[in-house]
């Protein structure tokens, strides 16, 4: 017997910009939204009956319509608005997942102060959020960021690892440690202070990365996650991905020069890939 199993559909990469015009300044936000819904769609998949299908184009328009009057100050709250709206108007939808990312824009500084209506992107870091809402069950919120490029030039080593017939990597007691961090964490409540907590979590992660005496990427990753859970009780668990972006010491001996750990060549590929989820027990 053949039957339809897990399925979902929706709209991806809905890009929306909102300008909030205050008397003394403008606020500028750029979000990319993905909506995926689950529900009673078997008649569409199996029989081609679209009578229970909300067009994905309508989902796109829903994002723009809600954004117009939304009071949300962050992606998490806007995602909650979108998921609630879809469930309220569509009884055939049993669950909705709204995933968002934000391109961070900052006020351009001129003459030592922020310009009220001019903005700049200083890096490629993206803030993320994922909201899961269902008719049965508890709404959940997952926040995070990705593409945060970090590097330290001290406090990192890698020694004592397995060495077999295929090992060529030398032990390193003082190496560069670079990564492009992705972090995602779950809140214990869907009504947390998302903006404040996002800033606090990011600050903890960066502070630990900078100050931790690293025996390996794994060692530092766990220390970062552990510190978030120890300092931010609103977080239930955190998942971290830290690719190890290698910087290889250049051998200058053939040119009659020494290299006192100063000249390196960056290697993007291949690179180490380390991820883990750190959570509370009990």
For every residue of 105-120, which 3-state class applies, written as one string? CEEEEECCEEEEEEEE
Task: Give me Rg for the CA atoms of the chain.
Answer: 23
Give how far Cα 235 sits from Cα of 40, 102, 149, Å: 33, 21, 23
**Nearest Cα to 68, choosing from 117, 26, 19?**
19
Contacts 24+ apart (CB under 8 A), 17-23: 18/67, 18/70
Catalytic machinery residues: 11, 56, 246
Inter-axis angle of helices 56-69 and 75-89, nearest 10: 130
* Residue where the block lists tokens 């961090």: 181
Q: How far apart are the first and last CA of the chain?
A: 42
């Amino acid at each position: 017997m053949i039957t339809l199993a897990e399925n979902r559909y929706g709209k991806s990469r809905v890009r929306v910009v909102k300008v909030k015009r205050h008397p003394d300044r403008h606020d500028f936000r750029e979000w990319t939204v993905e909506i995926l819904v689950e529900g009673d769609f078997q008649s569409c998949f199996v029989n081609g009956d679209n009578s229970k299908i909300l067009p994905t184009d309508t989902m796109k328009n829903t994002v723009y319509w809600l954004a117009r009057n939304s009071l949300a100050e962050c992606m998490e709250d806007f995602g909650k608005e979108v998921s609630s709206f879809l469930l309220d108007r569509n009884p055939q939808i049993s669950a909705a997942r709204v995933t968002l990312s934000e391109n961070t824009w900052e006020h351009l500084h001129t003459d030592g102060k922020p310009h009220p209506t001019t903005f700049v992107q200083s890096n490629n870091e993206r803030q993320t959020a994922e909201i899961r809402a269902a008719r049965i069950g508890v709404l959940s919120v997952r926040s995070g960021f990705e593409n945060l490029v970090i590097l330290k030039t001290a406090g990192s080593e890698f020694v004592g690892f397995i060495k077999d017939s295929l090992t060529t990597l030398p032990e390193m007691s003082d190496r560069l440690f670079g990564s492009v961090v992705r972090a995602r964490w779950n809140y214990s409540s869907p009504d947390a202070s998302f903006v404040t907590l996002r800033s606090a979590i990011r600050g903890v992660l960066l502070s630990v990365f900078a100050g931790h005496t690293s025996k390996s990427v794994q060692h530092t990753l766990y220390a970062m996650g552990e510190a978030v859970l120890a300092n931010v009780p609103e977080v239930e668990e955190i998942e971290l991905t830290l690719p190890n972006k290698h910087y290889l010491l250049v051998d200058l001996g053939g040119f009659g020069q020494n290299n006192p750990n100063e000249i390196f060549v960056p290697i993007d590929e291949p690179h180490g890939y380390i991820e883990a989820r750190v959570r509370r027990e009990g």
